[in-house]
Amino acid sequence: MVALLLFITLFVLLLLGFPVAFTLAGVSIVFGLFTFGLDLFNLLPLRIYGTMTNYVLISVPLFVYMGVMLEKSGIAERLLNTMALLFGRLKGGLAVSVILVGALLAASTGVVGATVVTMGLLSLPAMLKRGYSPALATGTIAASGTLGQIIPPSVVLVLLGSVMNVSVGDLFVGAVIPGLSLVVFYLIYVVGIAIVKPELAPAISEEEIKVFRGEGFGLRVFRAFVLPMFLIVAVLGAIFAGIASPTEAAAVGAFMATVLTAFERKLTLKVLQDVMKETTWLTSMVFIILVGATAFGLVFRGIRGDEALINFIEHLQMSPYTFLAFVMVAIFIAGFFIDFIEIIFIFMPVVTPIFAKYGMDLTWIAILVSMNLQTSFLTPPFGFSLFYLKGVAPPEVTTNQMYRGIVPFIIIQLIMLTLMIIFPEISTWLPKALKD
């Protein structure tokens, strides 16, 4: 009953709009004082210090720095323009290029907000100018920009690995096939729409393509692709080859992003200050929530909430897959209201021991959760990616058009999530194959 009261109090305060980090910490401390007494203040600092010394979590600010630095470098802009003109003769070619660039940026940064905003600023005006349907254009951009939730190096996977005590390297490897499969499904949908309704996704004019393919064409294409691919190979290649841990690879990525920005002649003192400020702000937000979640986890276990939950599920005689469906639905709904960071830190410490008790593969579970969070990021009316995109969209693009445009991509995501549940090998085969 105390554990249930803790949850109810927490969610009521969150829905009333109180800050997540301080609500988590404040409610937990009040309940903890009744549970542990003043001993709480001996236990809590030890738990927080354990979080501070977590080696895996060092990669979070490094990946955030890498993503923000790339956003400032201009590499994304050139990549998008080049890709659009390469696929320009195809109907829907611009949408195809947005999806491919979204995948490349996801593999370069792992930061969703930065990717959606960057692609919205760069590609949405271009798509509307060339006669694209606003619904198709916004849906494609929002869905492609959110690929950073599942395609490594994903900050979501880093946090899930830390909370669930699963190898982040295994999560990165396991997420490759689901992430690439999702990209393929997106491409099939966009090309299909362009074939069936070509007026929604017209081709780029021959004059524009002719100018692009003029003098220096090869060098422009080489420069556009080689720099981001170099970064992707440096980061993910080091992890997959076993040369570096995810934390070490994140440090390599942060350094290489700085070098690439300097190579582009965009590395100024002002840019460096802006990148560091934004990285500090985002990292501080993540870690202050983590401190609150640590307090919550300590108190929840102290009042034996985890044991009560396990006993309750055993009493219901819930099968492993029924419990998995229950958790997936709860996370999907929670994603409408609270950010993925809070969901990971609130839900996963509670449900992970139950998944472990059922003998389920935690790598598979973590990747399922990541895909689920990506879906909730897109779902109206509270999808965070839609808010990011609406903030940079031209005034003539309505919220209703964005909602209509994103629905087919949500259906694709749910199909992919269902396939991953039916066929766990989609997530687990590659990590096992590399180990063998």
- Residue 418 clears pLDDT 60, i.e. is over it: yes
Of the listed ranges 112-116, 153-157, 161-165, 289-293, the one predicted with least confidence: 112-116
User: What is the per-residue pLDDT across 195-242, written as a single tens digit (0 to 9) for each?
Assistant: 888 888 887 777 766 765 666 667 777 777 777 777 777 777 777 777
CB atoms within 10 A of CB 207: 8
pLDDT reported for residue 310: 67
Q: Is the preceding omega at residue 381 within 30 degrees of 0, hence cis? A: yes
- Residue 177 clears pLDDT 60, i.e. is over it: yes
> In this predicted model, which residue has the larger pLDDT, 314 or 104?
104
* Mean of per-residue pLDDT scores for the chain: 81
DSSP per-residue codes, 46-81: HHHHHHHT-SGGGHHHHHHHHHHHHHHHTHHHHHHH
What distance in Å separates the CA atoms of residue 296 and residue 395, rounded to the nearest whole number? 42
Tokens standing for 4?
A: 């249930």
Asked if residue 139 belongs to a domain, the reply is yes
| Residue of 331, 403, 405, 342 whose CA lies nearest to 374 | 331
> In this predicted model, which residue has the larger pLDDT, 348 or 39?
348
Biggest CA-to-CA distance, the chain: 76
pLDDT reported for residue 203: 72
Indicate the pLDDT class of residue 7, thresholds 50, 70 and 90: confident
Indicate the pLDDT class of residue 180, thresholds 50, 70 and 90: very high
pLDDT reported for residue 291: 79
Of the listed ranges 50-54, 132-136, 374-378, the one predicted with least confidence: 50-54
Please report, as a single letter, which amino acid is at residue 298. Answer: L
pLDDT reported for residue 214: 64
Asked if residue 125 belongs to a domain, the reply is yes
> In this predicted model, which residue has the larger pLDDT, 121 or 114?
121
Task: State the total domains in the chain.
Answer: 1
Of the listed ranges 121-135, 309-323, 368-382, the one predicted with least confidence: 309-323
> In this predicted model, which residue has the larger pLDDT, 220 or 9?
9
Asked if 120 and 80 count as a contact pair (C-beta separation under 8 A), the reply is no
DSSP per-residue codes, 332-350: HHHHHHS-HHHHHHHHHHH
pLDDT reported for residue 110: 56
What distance in Å separates the CA atoms of residue 92 and residue 127, rounded to the nearest whole number? 10
Asked if residue 21 belongs to a domain, the reply is no
Q: Which domain holds residue 69?
A: 54-267+303-435
Percent of the chain at pLDDT > 70 equals 88
Asked if residue 297 belongs to a domain, the reply is no
| Residue of 142, 84, 75, 137 whose CA lies nearest to 113 | 142
- Residue 306 clears pLDDT 70, i.e. is over it: no
Asked if residue 285 belongs to a domain, the reply is no
Of the listed ranges 210-224, 253-267, 310-324, 366-380, the one predicted with least confidence: 210-224
Asked if residue 34 belongs to a domain, the reply is no
Indicate the pLDDT class of residue 361, thresholds 50, 70 and 90: very high
Strand (E) or helix (H) holding 215? none
Task: Report H helices in 338-383.
Answer: 340-357, 362-378
User: Tokens 């393509």 — which residue?
Assistant: 209
Asked if residue 287 belongs to a domain, the reply is no
> In this predicted model, which residue has the larger pLDDT, 412 or 236?
412
What are the backbone angles phi and psi of residue 245, rounded to the nearest 5°? -75, 165
Q: Is the pTM of this model over 0.85?
A: no
CB atoms within 10 A of CB 33: 14
pLDDT reported for residue 199: 84
User: What is the per-residue pLDDT across 122-161, written as a single tens digit (0 to 9) for each?
Assistant: 778 878 887 888 899 899 988 988 887 888 877 788 889 8
| Residue of 237, 230, 283 whose CA lies nearest to 259 | 230
- Residue 23 clears pLDDT 90, i.e. is over it: no
> In this predicted model, which residue has the larger pLDDT, 420 or 284?
420
